[in-house]
Amino acid sequence: MGFLKDKVVVITGGASGIGRVSAKIFGAENANVIVWDLKTEKVSDEIHIYNVDVRNSDSVQEATRIAIEKFGQIDVLINNAGITQDASLLKMSDQQWRDVLDVNLTGVFNCTKSVAPHMIEEKFGRIINTSSVVGLYGNYGQTNYAASKAGVIGMTKVWARELAPKGITVNAVAPGFISTNMMKTIPKKILDTIIEKTPVGRLGIPEDVANVYLFLASEKASFINGAVISVDGGYVG
């Protein structure tokens, strides 16, 4: 316990799913946890939750200002907020394309651009971006989501080069299929196929991903930079 004692950790999309479990796990390690989400439903007494829309750079900058005012620094940024709006290519509307890119790609850009200057000042930081197996292998009906999650890998690789000389590591996690609200719309037949294609033989749970966030945020991961870590039970699309 106390792995991240007194570190200040911002988790976007931390009001539900993987982010919510991560907030609790980081809290248990005595980190000061700040959640930025559209929802402000309480996660636990110790977790500071703010209404922040990652698509909006003003909203993100104001939340950064509040975090710095309260805690003096941000040590870890987990760009975890993400959405899906699925449709096959010919049926995908311009709006669906834009909505997903706005949250999953522009949101990651906004948060990192806002927080990085404070990490640079401290000469320390850990940035963890949430990609997906879909960003690595593609998936039927997810042109927008695959583009956003492949884009997250691209940004991770750029920032790993730009920021590591300033004491900041930047890595991506690529979860496979994890049981959260995001999976609720997937029909059982498709879930069974996904499990068949997963050598570990099950869907992931939020803890599977949260524990990798925790490791990447820790001192033990200080020589990992620009990596994309799959957390997918060995899924092969």
Give the catalytic positions in this structure: 145
Report the 10 Å Cβ neighbour count for 171: 25
Provide the Cα torsion 194, 135, 186, 210; round to 10°.
80
Write each residue from 99 to 138 as x if it is in contact with ligand NAP (CB under 6 A), else as -, in one continuous string.
----x---x----------------------x-x------
The yes or no reply on residue 12 touching ligand NAP (CB under 6 A) is yes
Residue from 7, 9, 16, 225 in contact with ligand NAP (CB under 6 A):
16
d(CA 195, CA 181): 17
The yes or no reply on residue 81 touching ligand NAP (CB under 6 A) is yes
Nearer to ligand NAP (CB atom), residue 5 or residue 65: 65
The yes or no reply on residue 83 touching ligand NAP (CB under 6 A) is yes
**115 and 163 in contact (C-beta within 8 Å)?**
no
> Under DSSP, is residue 178 helix (H, G, I), strand (E, B) or coil?
strand
Residue from 25, 34, 53, 119 in contact with ligand NAP (CB under 6 A):
53
Burial letters for 97-136: b for 16+ Cβ neighbours within 10 Å, e otherwise?
bebbbbbbbbbbbbbbebbbebbeeeebbbbbbbbbbbbb
Residue from 10, 43, 100, 182 in contact with ligand NAP (CB under 6 A):
182
* List of residues contacting ligand NAP (CB under 6 A): 12-13, 15-19, 36-39, 52-55, 80-83, 103, 107, 130, 132, 175, 177-178, 180-183
